[in-house]
Structure 1
Amino acid sequence: MRLTADFKHKALHWADQFEYCCVLDSNSYPDPYGKYDLLIAAGATHMLYSDSEGAFENLKSFYAAHPGWLFGILGYDLKNGIEALQSGNPDQLGFPQLCFFQPEYLIVSENGVLRVEVGPANLLEEINTQNLQNNEQSASPEVNIQAMMDREIYIHKIQELKQHISRGDVYEITFCQEFFARQAWINPAETYARLNFNSPTPFAAYLKLKDKYLLCASPERFLRKKGQQLISQPIKGTAKRGKDAATDVVIKAQLAADLKEQTENVMIVDLVRNDLTRSATPASVKVEEQFGIYSFAQVHQMISTISCKLHPDVHFIDAIKNTFPMGSMTGAPKVSAMELIEEYEESTRGAYSGAMGYISPEGDFDFNVVIRSMLYASDKAYLSFQVGSAITAACVPEKEYEECMLKASAIIETIKGPQ
């Protein structure tokens, strides 16, 4: 059976019937490092929940005990088990710091062809023949989005962070802010479908962990293992899409030549190279592409690609730990940046700026960066999303705020619906 938009929509709702499910969708973006168009995992035969202490060792033990496919999430606050850090900001969502499950059912699309990887042979036909109830209502009209900090406070905090940069405490820091809604009654699967329509991205994802939902339109890969190769593709550099193709050409050229954006990108590329070195065979770390300009529905992004060969003595899960959290969401130096993030941000990040993805039976994996994402706790009717940007000595606080709002635009449009 060929993959179609109709089947994808039906399969999303079929998977959403289970307490645990995960959808990973490339939206047909060309990706020389990827393998699957779509992965849909539903049901859980085995589960792992872990807090930050010993999380990666727990994941290694879980994978050894249950070899096969695993799907799940790595929360940003796992940093506290890697470095001497802590998280004390308010957490209204209650997402697990680490959660992985082995699926009861798994559907795979590769090169546009669907197959059942785990489950009965007739599963595709069963899903394809189901009738969906007509439920277009993805968010209640009274959803009231609020900012955790107003524009003036945000700008003041950026000015203070620039003072830290001028003192040499950090060179760059990714500073984020939360937007939220209380008493938000949404249909998570339909909201995700609309988000994915408004903002199709190569690392889109939907995750349901009982009453916790992650609706993700991420354009960024955190880390991929393909055989013995590790690939990381950090994003640093953003520009708004133009109104037409001719304007887009100009904007892309301006982004590619923007010294500030290049400087941000170089800092993170150097950080990622250093992180990968901890898992690499000697002299194997290389920059495959730097300052690549890629276009998405709302933005153009500057993306670099760094790779290495995994050292045979390093467990692949340790390779994840050695690069986590991703440098594009922290800053440089990494630990100092994370300390300032904790001091200046007003919400805990939790699942946001963590990673979501799969581990295969062969020990390959692919994880995105959880950005451009809604997080929803249905038990609390609490909806949240965060956006951020890279703060450097050259940044203009007002422009950084505008960049945050640009990154939030697809989510706001999805929640509020056509105006």
Structure 2
Amino acid sequence: MNTSSIHNFKQKALTWANNFDVCCYFDSNQYHDQYGHFDCIIAAGVEKKISLNSGNAFHALKIFYENHKTWLFGFLSYDLKNEIEDLASLHPDHLGFPDLFFFIPKYIIGIQNDTIKILKGNPDIINAIEQEKVNKILFSPLDIKSRLTRQQYIEKIDRLKQHILRGDIYEVNFCQEFYADNTSIDPLAVYQELNAISPTPFSGYFKIEDKYIISATPERFLCKRKNQLISQPIKGTAKRQDNQELDLKVKTELKNDLKEQTENVMIVDLVRNDLTKSAKKGTVKVEELFGIYSFPQVHQMISTIGCELDENIHFVDALKNAFPMGSMTGAPKLRAMELIDQYEESKRGVYSGSFGFITPEGDFDFNVVIRTILYNSLNRYLSFQVGGAITHQCTAESEYEECLLKASAMIKVLKGRLS
């Protein structure tokens, strides 16, 4: 198939998968990824599932995998931190996702190098997919509200910087929520539009009955290839420019920006420490430091850290040992998470968690849930959160503007009006 035919097939396959109560879709959007299994993978229908809240969820996932040793697709909520550390999530939950959800699909389709492969299920599903009609349902513009005013945000950042001055933390990832209530959208149409205007290498769509994850995330949390673990945290953002010469200048400035490098290297050190818990001794190393990667709205600074997995460590424990990801917490990690619970106004839930898949051989790939819309169609609540790294060098006003930049694609897709 040519690229155009593959694009049409993916649209139809996602429409087909969306007919099931549960489906999961990942699309790399043709970004080169030396660690990727597939350019696109689609899972639909449920043979078996596990759905749990924080308590003993990682252990239950390990048992679930060991009992079946097959393909699993699922997500890890940020609030699983509460079973890893002595923490709590006291903010109201308007979305109602479980903290951990994984399912064994009935059907799996993989696409690699413009070749379609049925990984599980009857090959005749290709015919059913080809019959699908891709219809986009229009919806009214949304009134989007913020949990924090600009001034409230600035005041909280100033208070967090006082914690940094006191030596409580070096860096914290502080997030704010934008939301719309009593609203109705077509989640699939929203995803297709979001992926069109903001294609990213870890983009995905996850439907769990009446709940939806609609993601344009550019970030990988953790993947496993045989005995290798790879993490690719993002810290450092610059707005794309229409003028090519100016855009290159902005990109170069980001690469050499001492503030952004400082933020990035703090998280690199944190990830190195997290991987050490699962690594064969002496194998943790930084594969790339301060790499600059370009996306439609922003340039990002991305580093790559890898290690060999200790043969005595189960891969689910490796996930747990690195969770939640350092790019969404801060350093030191525990104190940063305590301050996140203290100063943020919303429960994170799936946001800044991760979703991905596990293969029958025990390899896996998980993203970071950022640049993501979460939606509960039953109570008609829609939410997306954005945040950034708060360090001593940052200015609250600039961080607020960066939040709006990160939210821009989602606001545009929702035809949103900030109120």
Question: Could you say which TM-score interval applies, normalised by the shorter chain?
Answer: over 0.9
Report how far residue 244 of structure 1 moved: 2.1
One-letter amino acid of the counterpart of residue 140, structure 2: S
**Residues 210-244 of structure 1, C-alpha deviations (whole Å, 9 max, x = no match):** 11100000000000000100000000000000112
Report how far residue 417 of structure 1 moved: 7.3
Counterpart Cα distance in 1 of 2:183 and 2:306:
42
Does 2:409 align with 1:410? yes
Name 2:114's counterpart in structure 1: 112
The 3-state SS of whatever aligns with 2:339 is helix
Name 1:40's counterpart in structure 2: 42
**Residues 168-198 of structure 1, C-alpha deviations (whole Å, 9 max, x = no match):** 0000000000000011100000110000001
Name 1:50's counterpart in structure 2: 52
Could you state the TM-score of these two structures normalised by the residue count of structure 1? 0.98
Could you state the TM-score of these two structures normalised by the residue count of structure 2? 0.98
Contact 1:140 / 1:184 at 8 angstroms: preserved in 2?
Answer: no
Counterpart Cα distance in 2 of 1:76 and 1:275:
16
Name 1:180's counterpart in structure 2: 179
Counterpart Cα distance in 2 of 1:403 and 1:242:
15
Does 2:100 align with 1:98? yes
Name 1:229's counterpart in structure 2: 228
Name the count of aligned residue pairs: 415
The 3-state SS of whatever aligns with 1:218 is coil
**Which range is displaced more, 6-15 or 223-232?**
6-15
Counterpart Cα distance in 2 of 1:111 and 1:362:
22
Counterpart Cα distance in 2 of 1:276 and 1:282:
10
Counterpart Cα distance in 1 of 2:79 and 2:231:
20
One-letter amino acid of the counterpart of residue 256, structure 1: K
The 3-state SS of whatever aligns with 2:255 is helix
One-letter amino acid of the counterpart of residue 99, structure 2: Q
Name 1:12's counterpart in structure 2: 14
Counterpart Cα distance in 1 of 2:136 and 2:34:
37
Correspondence list, 1:252-267, <5 A: 252-267=251-266
**Residues 90-139 of structure 1, C-alpha deviations (whole Å, 9 max, x = no match):** 1110111000000011100112211111111122232013234x3341x3
Counterpart Cα distance in 2 of 1:417 and 1:160:
30
Contact 1:70 / 1:100 at 8 angstroms: preserved in 2?
Answer: yes
One-letter amino acid of the counterpart of residue 61, structure 1: I
Aligned Cα root-mean-square deviation (Å): 1.1
Does 2:277 align with 1:293? no
Name 1:217's counterpart in structure 2: 216
Name 1:392's counterpart in structure 2: 391
One-letter amino acid of the counterpart of residue 130, structure 1: E
Contact 1:236 / 1:264 at 8 angstroms: preserved in 2?
Answer: yes
Name 2:327's counterpart in structure 1: 328
**Residues 367-399 of structure 1, C-alpha deviations (whole Å, 9 max, x = no match):** 000000000000010000000000000000000
Correspondence list, 1:122-133, <5 A: 122-132=124-134
The 3-state SS of whatever aligns with 2:108 is strand
One-letter amino acid of the counterpart of residue 110, structure 2: V
Counterpart Cα distance in 1 of 2:41 and 2:282:
34
Contact 2:41 / 2:108 at 8 angstroms: preserved in 1?
Answer: yes
Counterpart Cα distance in 2 of 1:65 and 1:163:
49
Counterpart Cα distance in 2 of 1:315 and 1:259:
38
Report how far residue 403 of structure 1 moved: 0.3
**Among 78, 81, 84, which residue is 1:82 paired with?**
84
**Residues 309-346 of structure 1, C-alpha deviations (whole Å, 9 max, x = no match):** 00000000000000000000000000000000000000
Counterpart Cα distance in 2 of 1:59 and 1:417:
38
The 3-state SS of whatever aligns with 1:99 is strand
Counterpart Cα distance in 2 of 1:247 and 1:62:
52
Name 2:136's counterpart in structure 1: 135
Name 2:317's counterpart in structure 1: 318
**Residues 258-302 of structure 1, C-alpha deviations (whole Å, 9 max, x = no match):** 000000000000000000000000100000000000000100000
The 3-state SS of whatever aligns with 2:95 is coil
Counterpart Cα distance in 2 of 1:326 and 1:111:
30
**Residues 338-375 of structure 1, C-alpha deviations (whole Å, 9 max, x = no match):** 00000000000000000000000010000000000000
Contact 1:115 / 1:124 at 8 angstroms: preserved in 2?
Answer: no
**Which range is displaced more, 1-10 or 181-190?**
1-10
Unaligned runs of 5+ in 2: none
How much identity, in percent, do the aligned residues show? 58
Counterpart Cα distance in 1 of 2:411 and 2:286:
35
Counterpart Cα distance in 2 of 1:194 and 1:411:
10
Unaligned runs of 5+ in 1: none
Counterpart Cα distance in 2 of 1:104 and 1:74:
21
